[in-house]
Chain A
Amino acid sequence: MGDYVDGVSRSGGSVHNVHSVNVSKDVDIDAIAAAVAKAIGGMPSFRRGHSGEELEDGFDNTKSLENIAEAMIVQRGKNESNFEDLGSVKKTKKDKKDVDKTIDLLSKLGD
């Protein structure tokens, strides 16, 4: 244990080997905090705290997602079933002109 003023140990020991620090009451703690904050600049880890919440790092992981998506659609092992077609059918009739008008309008739009 030792006293530190302006980041220097009075006993000359290394900061890294120290377990706790007693700061003299004459030291301007706010000034030290401001200096430390200035020195580490925008290091986000200092400001994040310890919530464990995942933060956006700006890395584009689309390629990994694409590859995993591709891997998901590979059939593993031999599957068997007792059907080829599935489902019941319901037919509905709509005004063809109305539907065609909508198709025409949508074909002029982007994706």
Chain B
Amino acid sequence: MTSEEKPDIDVQEVEEVKNVKKDDKTKFKPGVGCDVGTSNIVVARQTEDGTFVNRFHRDMLYPLDVSDESADLLERSDYLYVKVAGKYYIVGDDALKLVNAIGKGEVVRPMKDGILNPTLKQSSELLFYIIKAVVGDPIIENEPLRFSCPANPVDRDLDNLFHKMVLNGFFNKMGYVSKDVNEAMCICYDCNPKMKSDEEEVPLSGICCSFGGGMINVALSFKGLELNSFSITKSGDYIDERTELATGISKNKIIKIKERSLNLEDVDVSDRVQSALSIYYDEMINRVIHLISKEFVDKNSDMDGEIEIVVAGGSSMPKGFCDRFEKCLKHSDIPFSICGVRHSDSPFNSVSQGACIRAQADYAKVSK
């Protein structure tokens, strides 16, 4: 199937509402999915009628020293903030708005390259404050929760073990029974890629790619089992940084352009930022395809049929992303027959929804 074709499952985005208070009257099924990403935290729950309710928050902060001016600013505005270790931190989208308005300083992130930011002293404390406010309390005792975790990267010496342990401890402390789940496999559970052979269509089998802010995660799945996975640290943030270097335009403004007006099908070449973004998008896609080929050839991965590639994540959201991916794929050495590339119907929510499906499976297991 190509990205242009409609999937055979009925998926539609039904509603988006800003800054909603948690509605305790909604009847949710037990099992929570949490996508703790470098750019956003997304939490998914499913209602009895099958609707996924995704609550999301931008994982970004703008630090302000405690002073009469900053206290006055916070009192006069409706910015959401947290005060930690003698500093105010404006949270979420407001952080980006404020840094663009003030024109100086930088937003800080509790996460970097897919894991807790080691350079930010208060990263765990800030992240947990945010997570707690986005996730909320369990709806039953010992409710299962799955949180997404990146695979160890092939291009940097990083180990996700500590990150996994910290998040696990935190969710358990909140009253959940938590386990990590590979980020790319979440996309498998949400999008259900198929392997086509002469005899049958095998569910949950294919290559899943999650293009996040800090990382790209890739997994090869067969019947829902993770056969092979890895990650790459050159993703959305890398594109922003390189574009900033090439154009001299601040990263905060680049993010705005990337999210609001970039169309990879129709790049405005007179715009330096759009041109640079387009070039680095090509680089990112080609790098991923090159590493998929290399990793799967090196590890002798094999599949007995034509497999589907499913793509999701915030950095895959510009229009035309999937077509570019398909074009680059034609010149690759991927050791499998590919029957198509499919973009998730809700690329931003795919990881959280997949984690939620896995958590519901955990609940079904313990309820049997």
Known: A91-B54, A105-B203, A107-B368. A73 touches B12 (CB 8 A): no
Complex Cα distance, B226 from A106, in Å, reads: 12
Contact A69 B16 (CB under 8 A): no
A103 at the interface (CB under 8 A from B): yes
Q: What string of 1s and 0s marks CB contacts (under 8 Å) between A90-111 and chain B? A: 1111111011011111110101
Q: What string of 1s and 0s marks CB contacts (under 8 Å) between B217-244 and chain A? A: 0000001110000000000000000000
Which B-chain residue is minimally distant from A80 (CB atoms)? B83
Pick the residue among A69, A77, A107, A111 that contacts B165 (CB under 8 A): A69
Determine how close the nearest CB of chain B comes to the CB of A88; give it in whole angstroms.
5
A89 at the interface (CB under 8 A from B): yes
What is the interface size of chain A, counting residues whose CB is below 8 A from a CB of the partner?
Answer: 39
Contact A68 B82 (CB under 8 A): no
Taking chain B's interface residues, is the majority helix, strand, or loop, or is none over half, making it mixed?
Answer: mixed
Contacting residues of chain B (1-27) with chain A, CB-CB under 8 angstroms = 9-22
Complex Cα distance, B14 from A94, in Å, reads: 10
Pick the residue among A81, A91, A106 that contacts B15 (CB under 8 A): A91
Contact B81 A103 (CB under 8 A): no
Known: A69-B162, A85-B133. A95 touches B92 (CB 8 A): no
Pick the residue among B9, B12, B15, B41 that contacts A89 (CB under 8 A): B15
Known: A85-B136, A86-B130, A102-B203. A96 touches B50 (CB 8 A): yes
Contact B124 A72 (CB under 8 A): yes
- Interface range on chain B: under 10, 10 to 19, 20 to 34, or 35 or more? 35 or more
Determine how close the nearest CB of chain B comes to the CB of A30; give it in whole angstroms.
38
Complex Cα distance, B56 from A83, in Å, reads: 15
Complex Cα distance, B192 from A70, in Å, reads: 36
Determine how close the nearest CB of chain A comes to the CB of B269; give it in whole angstroms.
33
Contact A92 B55 (CB under 8 A): no
Contact A90 B124 (CB under 8 A): no
Complex Cα distance, B41 from A68, in Å, reads: 23
Known: A69-B169, A93-B50, A96-B50. A87 touches B125 (CB 8 A): no
Contact B133 A88 (CB under 8 A): no
Complex Cα distance, B168 from A105, in Å, reads: 25
Known: A73-B124, A73-B128, A93-B14. A87 touches B19 (CB 8 A): yes
Pick the residue among B57, B168, B192 that contacts A86 (CB under 8 A): B57
Determine how close the nearest CB of chain B comes to the CB of A106; give it in whole angstroms.
4
Pick the residue among A76, A81, A88 that contacts B20 (CB under 8 A): A88
Complex Cα distance, B120 from A72, in Å, reads: 13
Q: Inside 8 A of A94's CB, which chain B residues have their CB?
A: 9-11, 50, 52, 353
Q: Inside 8 A of B189's CB, which chain A residues have their CB?
A: 102, 106
On A, residues with C-beta under 8 Å from B are: 65-66, 68-70, 72-73, 75-77, 79-96, 98-99, 101-107, 109, 111
For the complex with contacts A75-B125, A92-B11, A105-B224, 20 further pairs of A-B residues with Cβ separation under 8 Å are A65-B165, A69-B168, A77-B85, A82-B81, A83-B91, A85-B20, A86-B92, A86-B134, A87-B19, A87-B41, A87-B56, A88-B20, A90-B17, A92-B52, A92-B346, A93-B12, A95-B9, A102-B357, A105-B223, A106-B361
